[in-house]
Amino acid sequence: MASLQKLSRDFLSAFDEKKYDNAAEIIPKLKLEFAKEGILSPTPKFDPDDLLAARQLMEMAVLVSIFANRTQDEVERLISEVQPFYSPNLGLPKSDNENKILGLYLLLALTNNRISEFHSALENIDNPEDDKYLNYPVLLERWLMEGAYDKAWKAITDTNQFPSKEFMILMKSSSDNLEATVRNEIALCLEKAYTSLPVHSAKYLLYLKSDADLQTFVAERAERGWQLQAQSLLFKTEVEKRIAEEDEEISVENNEEYLINSVLNYAAKVDVIV
Amino acid sequence: MSTAVVSPGESAQSAVTYLSKSGTSFDSRFTLKILRNLPTIRKQVDATNLATLIAEHYDETYAKTILDLANLNYSGEFGQSVPISPEVDAFLHLLVQVWAINEDGVDTEKLMRLGQLSVKHLADSYNRRSLDHFNSKIWFYYVRAAELSKNLFSRELYSEMMTAYRTACLRHDFETQSMLITLLLRVLIFTNQIGTASDLVAKTTFPEGNASNSLAARYHYYLSRINAVELDYGTAYEQITAAIRKSPHTPAATGFLQTANKLSVLIELLTGDIPARRAFGSREQPELIAPLQPYFALAKAVRAGDVNQFQNALKTHEAALKKDGNLALARRLRQNVIKTGIRVISLTYSKIPLKDICLKLCLDSEESAEYMVAKAIRDGVIDATINHQKGYMQSLDSSNVYASTDPQECFDERIKFCMSLHDDNVKSLRYLSSDLKDDLRDLQEAREREKELVSEMQDTSDLDDDDMDFDF
């Protein structure tokens, strides 16, 4: 227990001095000590004070790992380790950080496009609209689903809109971050909805800064039928593809054999009944 | 059972006699008959009779434990511990449980302990297939008591259920097995562990062919709920339809049907369809009208494609939706409202400026409108193109469904459904025994029995009384 106390003191002082890297170093050791005590799978048999202390340290560990720019996987693992502490059968008072941690978890689920996980987590939450940490991922998801990409884009790029610094750092941390996801979604919509777009509008709609960016973006999608011609972006093949698909369907439709087969089948069955 | 007036306790006593005689025959029909009459027996028995029954069949210590847990007073003599047939033993435990849970003023903690005691007693003493139906009911009332005493989060309960489930599987006890799966799902959904619940479904097999209909209905209901939360609306809709079809349509199942219909309507809305008007209650099903009122308001808003009306409906009925555990699902409908709005516009106008769409849907900006229309096109909600330079949306000619094979496929599906329904019916028919002459002589008698049975089944059903308050 002595080493645990020392570790947590070191951890807290590193946190206060904002030496996040140092603090992050301590996390694995701290978790090891917790694991020895068995408190990582909390049950009501533990002393409430111990549980509270452990919960607080684990919460801070999540925040530290975000500040120290650890990978999303690591942050997520830590979050999943804090969550058992929020279980109502422990009878602990509600933590101030609970909503923030949950909000971060929702954001991670959203970033990695695990929508069903996002919604499962949301089922647990009573009024997400009333909390700024929870409201952020909820609104973001709503905008993405509705297709209000302009609002979503603003929310993930405008620093003022983040409910706290952790959200921003987490958002920027991964390589396939939300910006890329949103842009990709927009691209998928564009190719279905337009036959052609002027270059400047395409740039504007896709939130790309320069012509060069647009060129690389289009080049990546060349096999999907994107091409730049003169001053406009063409999605022509999309329409052609659709027509081709319809033609194919028609040829299947004329499959008389299918019709004969099923009618014979019905006849046989009716025969059995009569 | 005759319709003549039965003195309190007599019916319970006669059930006991009946059971001890049937114990040797190993036919589940006898136990089923008793179980069907359970609500009636429960209402006819009173505290004194029940206490006497217990005292007669168990030795003093055990009888006292049961009496204490069920809040029963008994001042008479305790009998000697007589050999008791397993069926009677199980029946008495169940009867005490059912009686106590319907009685006011019994401590819920005690109820739960009573359930625990019964479950343990049966598991330790017997391994007989003729007890399966009792065992499954006793589990139901145990978990129900745990729910009433707010003990659903307890890990012990969960592991007890898991152990019992494994035992039931090994013993091919399908009744208890299916009961425990549904109970586990209920606990998990109640405590919002949707992920675990969906893992459980993936790892277990529900004995579909062997489970009773009411259990199957519940199982499908829970599956539907899990799928809906995980955004698989197609499967969720199939499951909820199965649940409603399988559920008995008797007054005892009203609670279940109301809950199931609420979910069904919501899922249908989420898939982008508008439910038929009669799904919200009609003259045939007046009991649905009031509970489905909030859902009707939501559906109206979705149908109109009016975002403001939708938000208002959501606000007005928030409390009711929350009580049903459907608020989160209802919130997801917002995008459907917008999609419907766009679809209505696209059907009405062949060409419309984005600015007008923006005004009609009460959106904040033309830019949002453009993205939303683009998304609707991508999702296949409408068939249109956008002209960015001139800022309008142009609808494409809608294709003629009747020129495709769609109607044929639909028709094919329905025929197949009717055929399989017919086949299932044929398979589940019961035939006369080989002794045809005797049967014919008894025919008149049998008809009367049948009539009685029908009238009994109208009063009760194999779904429990407690399904009246089946909700979250």
Reply yes or no on whether the pLDDT at B223 is more than 90. yes
Q: Can you name the residues that pair with A48 across neighbouring β-strands?
A: none
Report residue B239's pLDDT band, with 50, 70 and 90 as the boundaries.
very high
The minimum CA-CA distance between A2 and chain B, rounded to whole Å, is 31
Residues of B in contact with A246 (CB under 8 A): 399
Range A2-177 has CATH code 3.40.50.1970: no
Give pLDDT, residue B399.
66
Contact criterion met (CB < 8 Å) for A120 and B419: no
Strands (E), B239-295: none
A195 contacts in chain B (CB < 8 Å): 385
DSSP state of A164: S
Whether the per-residue pLDDT at B383 is higher than 70: the answer is yes
On whether any CB of chain B is under 8 Å from the CB of A229, the answer is no
Collect all residues of chain B within an 8 Å Cβ-Cβ radius of residue A259.
408
Contacts with B385 from chain A: Cβ below 8 Å: 193-195
ipTM confidence score: 0.74
pLDDT at B394 over 50: yes
Mutate to test the interface with B, among A142, A143, A186, A189 (most CBs of B within 10 A): A189
pLDDT at B219: 93
* Cβ contact, residue pair B328, A123, below 8 Å: yes
Whole-angstrom distance, CA of residue A217 vs CA of residue A211: 10
pLDDT at B188 over 60: yes
Q: Coil, strand or helix: which one is B395?
A: strand
How is the beta sheet containing A232-234 ordered, strand by strand?
A: A196-198, A232-234, A227-229
pLDDT of residue A203: 83
What is the distance between the alpha carbons of residues A146 and B23, in angstroms, rounded to a whole number?
Answer: 63
Question: Smallest Cα–Cα separation from A136: which of A168, A113, A181, A177?
Answer: A168
pLDDT digit string, tens, across residues B323-377: 888 888 888 888 888 888 888 888 888 888 888 888 888 777 888 888 888 888 8
Q: What is the pLDDT, as a whole number, of residue B182?
A: 92
Residue B267: the pLDDT is 92
pLDDT at residue B158 greater than cutoff 60: yes
Which of chain B's residues have a Cβ under 8 Å away from the Cβ of A116? 229-232
If one counts every other C-beta atom within 10 angstroms of the C-beta of residue B308, the result is 12
Measured between beta carbons, which residues in chain A are less than 8 angstroms from residue B375?
146-147, 149, 189
Closest residue in B to A142 (Cα–Cα): B335
Confirm or reject contact between B371 and chain A (CB < 8 A): yes
pLDDT of residue B472 exceeding 60? no
Contact criterion met (CB < 8 Å) for A88 and B334: no
Report yes or no: A150 and B368 within 8 Å, Cβ to Cβ: yes
More confident residue, B24 or B368: B368
Q: What is the pLDDT at residue B224?
A: 93
What is the model's pLDDT at position B222? 93
Residue B432 has pLDDT above 70, yes or no: no
Tokens of B460: 């009760």
Euclidean distance between CA atoms B354 and B305, whole angstroms: 17
Tell me the torsion sign for CA atoms B265, B266, B267, B269. positive
Cβ of residue A145 closer than 8 Å to a chain B Cβ:
yes
Ranges of chain A whose pLDDT falls below 70: 1-3, 173-176, 236-255
Cβ of B386 within 8 Å of Cβ of A194? The answer is yes
Kindly write down the DSSP assignment for every residue of A104-140, as one continuous string. Answer: HHHHHHHHTT-HHHHHHHHHT-S-GGG-HHHHHHHHH
Residue type, position B90, single letter: A
User: Within 13 Å, how many C-alpha atoms sit on residue A240's CB side?
Assistant: 7
Using the beta-carbon criterion (under 8 Å), do B155 and A43 form an inter-chain contact?
yes
pLDDT number for residue B444: 72
Which 8-state DSSP code applies to residue B455?
Answer: H
pLDDT value, residue A220: 82
User: What mean pLDDT value characterizes chain B?
Assistant: 80
Query: What does the pLDDT look like over A151-165, one tens digit per residue?
Result: 888 887 777 777 777
With beta carbons under 8 A apart, name residues in chain A contacting B340: none
Report helix, strand or coil for A24: helix
* Nearest by CB: A119 against B153, B230, B415: B230
- Residue B233: closest CA among chain A residues belongs to which residue? A116
A232 token code pair: 């406009």
Q: In angstroms, what separates the C-alpha of A186 from chain B's closest C-alpha?
A: 8
Distance between B25 CA and the closest CA of chain A, angstroms: 36
Tens-digit pLDDT profile for residues B203-218: 888 887 777 888 899 9
- Say how far apart CA B265 and CA A21 lie, in whole Å: 52
Which one of A41, A106, A120, A254 would you mutate to disrupt binding with B, by most B Cβ within 10 Å of its Cβ? Answer: A120
Cβ separation of B229 and A145 shorter than 8 Å? no
